[in-house]
A and B are shown apart, each in its own frame.
Chain A
């Protein structure tokens, strides 16, 4: 992702840091909504998340969120238990992405300090 934005590192760093803030907030909400079983709220979170992931080039996680989106679309506004099962399964993947994001931020910061 960083390579594709080369030459514009400060902007990318700013965007990634902001995305990290949103990511954390969304992840917290994601976990809360799975527990509460609110499909509509889950739909809103994934919609925003998907745009960000796709834009930043996290293709694998985008596809997984896309699958949840599909199930949500098919069942909307009634939330099926499948949605929450899938959303729960995705938590682990999201944690991994969070790690990638962190690493990427550190990489750009190091690049800018040089």
Chain B
């Protein structure tokens, strides 16, 4: 693939110096140089997005600082290298803080330093192109989020999410852990036509207020190599989506800063006087809705309603029993697609077991159970014994979660003991403190039933 030609602007009123810069830069392949003798001429063409602008600090129509400000106002991503005859550190720091890419003094080192800048720029441009190509490739492979379910509450949440995707305001999704809040946030992201844009998730758990601040808003600091700028997630997402988990656990000061961001769509990072614009969408996740916060005085109404224009409740899985079969089959298809050539199916008993489970871990738990069942299934049918429910004994499961008659429960217990004690009727009768005849009668009934 041929390398793209990058455009470099030289803004210099001294014709000899302009020629010197042009001659230096043109030694690089794939570089096109355009020269301007006034700031105004350059500003008018900044829209063409040059890869680099070298700007003389003293121009006939404008000072370097004003020219830099005007260029960045037109295109804030412009990389402007200020070239000056002055070796004034204060001016250099000031210009760098205002957003200049670098500061060069006109001396015998200028050429070498400019070469380094252009070399790095070409490397950067190549990486950016590579990044874009990979992003496009990745975008092609992104599967659209599928929301499976017929339950009325769930359908309502899905419909609200579709409406929320048209909103340019914060959204709150609340519901128990594992209920699919993040998936719903991704659905909103994709439904808003942002699939190719970044989708980032942030959790404040385990972070101090300062760490939260740095991760979200970024920071600027002076190091031995100059001014370093670390952009926060709010800027990194561009026009994409930032999902903030455990919304109610964010420190109050951060919440207040987010309120300001939501109002003005811009902010200053720590230690910086550079104004960052926020173009992306914020989605907040929480296990509880705003009513709970108001009742427990956790968060004020101003914060909640400024940050979230819409609240969507994601129902727990045990509230949408009718969806368990649908979801189980969907997860089965997903898991089996990677593991087996033939997609297995659930036996009737296996499905009953799933439908009778309470699913405190919601969708996350169901997914884990199904994935394990696919691995455990010996044939093309996932049977009841393949459904392993963690943290619950088989006996408890049978007794507490399934609705059966007392006689059925009694029989199952006896059979379980018979299996456990290798069909030794006397031992089982002793263990269960029942008569031997009860066991013989049961076995007789069972044999008769099978023969019939």
Contact = CB atoms under 8 A, between A and B. Distances in A.
Given A15-B23, A55-B108, A57-B108, A50 B16 contact: no
B110 interface: yes
B111 interface: yes
Interface string A8-49: 100100110011001000000000000000000000000110
Interface string B15-30: 0110110010001000
Contacts of A15: 16, 19-20, 23
Nearest to B106: A51
Nearest to B17: A51
B14 A55 contact: no
Contact of B85 (A1, A5, A50): A50
A56 interface: yes
Interface in B86-124: 105-108, 110-111
B58 interface: yes
A108 to B, nearest CB: 14
B17 A4 contact: no
Contacts of A4: 108
B35 to A, nearest CB: 14
A56 B105 CA distance: 13
A91 interface: no
A18 B107 contact: no
Contacts of A47: 58, 85
A18 B85 contact: no
Contact of B14 (A8, A51, A57, A62): A51
Nearest to B12: A51
A6 to B, nearest CB: 12
Contact of B107 (A5, A8, A55): A55
A47 B85 CA distance: 8
A11 B106 contact: no
Contacts of A1: 108
Contacts of A52: 14, 16-17
A14 B19 CA distance: 10
A54 interface: yes
A22 B85 contact: no
B85 A54 contact: yes
Contact of A55 (B17, B27, B58): B17
Contacts of A56: 108
Nearest to A48: B14
Contacts of A11: 23, 27
A33 B149 CA distance: 88
A54 B107 contact: yes
Contacts of B107: 54-55, 62
18 contacts: A4-B108, A11-B23, A11-B27, A15-B19, A15-B23, A47-B58, A48-B16, A48-B17, A51-B14, A51-B85, A52-B16, A54-B107, A55-B106, A55-B107, A55-B111, A57-B108, A59-B108, A62-B107
Interface of A: 1, 4-5, 8, 11, 14-15, 18-19, 22, 47-48, 50-52, 54-57, 59, 62
Given A1-B108, A19-B16, A51-B14, 16 more contacts: A4-B108, A18-B19, A22-B16, A47-B58, A47-B85, A48-B14, A51-B106, A52-B14, A52-B16, A54-B85, A54-B108, A55-B106, A55-B108, A55-B110, A55-B111, A57-B108
8 smallest CB-CB distances across A and B, nearest first, come from: A57-B108, A54-B107, A51-B106, A11-B23, A51-B85, A48-B14, A22-B16, A51-B17
Interface of B: 14, 16-17, 19-20, 23, 27, 58, 85, 105-108, 110-111
